[in-house]
Chain A
């Protein structure tokens, strides 16, 4: 079964540094998403992306965040100047156009020191 893959599985970064989280969505999917889950809390929506544009974003997705589809297979989340509170699991998901469910990767654990 095709799956969403995310790299790295764990990223440790100093506060104030930039970090890029990478995702390879399922190949025929056209909608891409980022979610995060702070330890012990709910899964929270960050952003959805379609046709090289942001479709929807939450209040969490402020100016320090950006997303990009740099080529035909990768989807990235960049955090420009990380804060301690950015420490969380970040999940990428993808879906196709036909109202099918979102499929999630196993996440990148981001630890900000």
Chain B
């Protein structure tokens, strides 16, 4: 499985756009990029998944350059409730496959 590197922590203010970049230099051809969010004492929550270019949903956008060696999760106009740990996962994403979580990025949003 591809190793991922993401910042340990980030700070932001309410209303700002937050971009969290994840490096995955040895991503394989059949790997997808997936982001999860976790609040204290809760289970990880799926945010977004992509393979290449750009994916957008109601919560976030995911930007993936052509070489796929990195990806950026973009959270528009964050609020205090976006304070959480964000995990970047890279893998073949077949049904039944284990998800391998790293330490993630702890995002702290202040007013």
Contact = CB atoms under 8 A, between A and B. Distances in A.
B34 interface: yes
Contacts, number: 60
A48 B98 contact: yes
The 4 A-B pairs with the shortest beta carbon distances in the complex, nearest first, are A104-B43, A45-B98, A43-B101, A101-B46
A48 B97 contact: yes
A91 B44 CA distance: 9
A102 B98 CA distance: 10
Contact of A56 (B34, B97, B103): B97
Dominant SS at the A interface? strand
Interface of B: 34, 38, 41-46, 49, 87, 93-103
Dominant SS at the B interface? loop
Nearest to A44: B101
Contact of A43 (B44, B46, B95): B44
A45 B100 CA distance: 7
